[in-house]
Structure 1
Amino acid sequence: MRGTRGARPGALAAVLLAALSGCGSVQEREDSAAAAVSRFQESLRASDTARGCAALAPGTRDELEQTAELPCTRALPDAGLPGAGLPEADDVSVVDVYGRQARVVTNRDTLFLSSFPGGWKITAAGCAERPGMPYQCLVKGG
């Protein structure tokens, strides 16, 4: 019996460590999603369309190209995204992460992301909230 009791504190410690690690992991995912948005918006400000297109999820990039009937590097500048071409950075005010999905709200825009093996990718940008309805987004995946 004594051996069983000795194992319990170790098991409890493992559970607590896993719980604490999970909290850190949420913060890390929030920070990573916010950083992905910051890099994307920086690419828009710098007119670095290749880097901006690389930040888009594959389905979002495909949808943008099909809708505009142009390659992403030519379609992205014409999408009318908030903050494009402005010298100052957007401030991130809210980051919500739910599993492999995230929503990042800045002072000018709301963006949605998905987690891919290479990191967070933008699935929708230029999104405006509509009460009782889905967001309306200028760039979105199909």
Structure 2
Amino acid sequence: MRAAAMAAAALLLSACAGLGPPEVEQVASAFAGADPSARCQMLAPATASALEGRQAESCVQAMSQLSLPRGAVVSSTVSGDQAQVRLVGDTVFLTRTSDGWKVTAAGCRSQADARYDCRLAGP
């Protein structure tokens, strides 16, 4: 289910290729280099809740157990309130909220069928 949602997001975002606004790249880059507590603050609420629910522990505890790649920004695409930022070794998905851009999925790797398998993803 999670992979199917990521595939739909990838198809939507691929329709608007090109450099995205610096904000999405800054958020994705900051997320990649942040500690678990800061990463939790950058998550979309539904993603944070899903992480806590799957791991049955706090966001910070669950995040500290995830091994997410750290890398420089390679490219980004934005389509409306959704964005995809490709980093060296990772793809991060974001959504625009009233509090700015928030991470909805990270640790994502493209699969052969254009879907993404993500270590961290919302519902």
What TM bracket, shorter-length normalisation? 0.7 to 0.9
The CA deviation string for residues 101-141 of structure 1, in whole angstroms up to 9 with x for no partner, is 00000111001000011110000000010121420000000
Alpha-carbon deviation of 1:51?
A: 1.1
Identical aligned residues as a percent: 33
What is the CA–CA distance in structure 2 between the aligned matches of 1:135 and 1:41, rounded to whole Å?
A: 18
Stretches of structure 2 that go unaligned for 5 or more consecutive residues are 1-17
Moved >6 Å (runs of 4+): none
Q: 2:108 is matched with which residue: 127, 134, 137? A: 127
Q: Which structure carries more helix by proportion?
A: 1
From 27, 32, 39, the counterpart of 1:41: 32
Q: Contact (CA 8 Å) 2:32, 2:68: kept in 1 or not? A: no
The one-letter amino acid of 1:53's match is C
| One-letter identity of the residue aligned with 2:36 | T
Output the amino acid matched with 1:117.
Answer: S
Aligned length: 106
Q: Which residue does 1:103 correspond to in 2?
A: 84
| Cα RMSD (Å) | 1.5
The one-letter code matched in structure 1 to 2:90 is D
Structure ranking higher on relative contact order (CA contacts 8 Å, 6+ apart): 2
Alignment partners' CA distance in 1, 2:92 and 2:98: 19
Q: 1:65 maps to which residue?
A: 52
**Distance in 1 (alpha carbons) for counterparts of 2:32 and 2:108:** 14
Partner residue of 1:94 out of 75, 81, 89:
75
Q: Partner amino acid for 2:97?
A: F
So what's the TM-score if we normalise by structure 2?
0.80
The counterpart of 2:40, out of the listed 53, 73, 92, is: 53
Within 2, Cα distance between the matches of 1:55 and 1:36?
8
Equivalent residue number for residue 65 of structure 2: 78
Give, in angstroms, the shift of residue 79 of structure 1.
1.6
Partners of 1:120 and 1:33 in 2: CA distance: 7
Distance 1:127 1:94 in 2: 14
Name the amino acid aligned to 1:49.
Answer: P
Shift of 1:91: 1.3
Q: Secondary structure at the match of 1:82?
A: coil
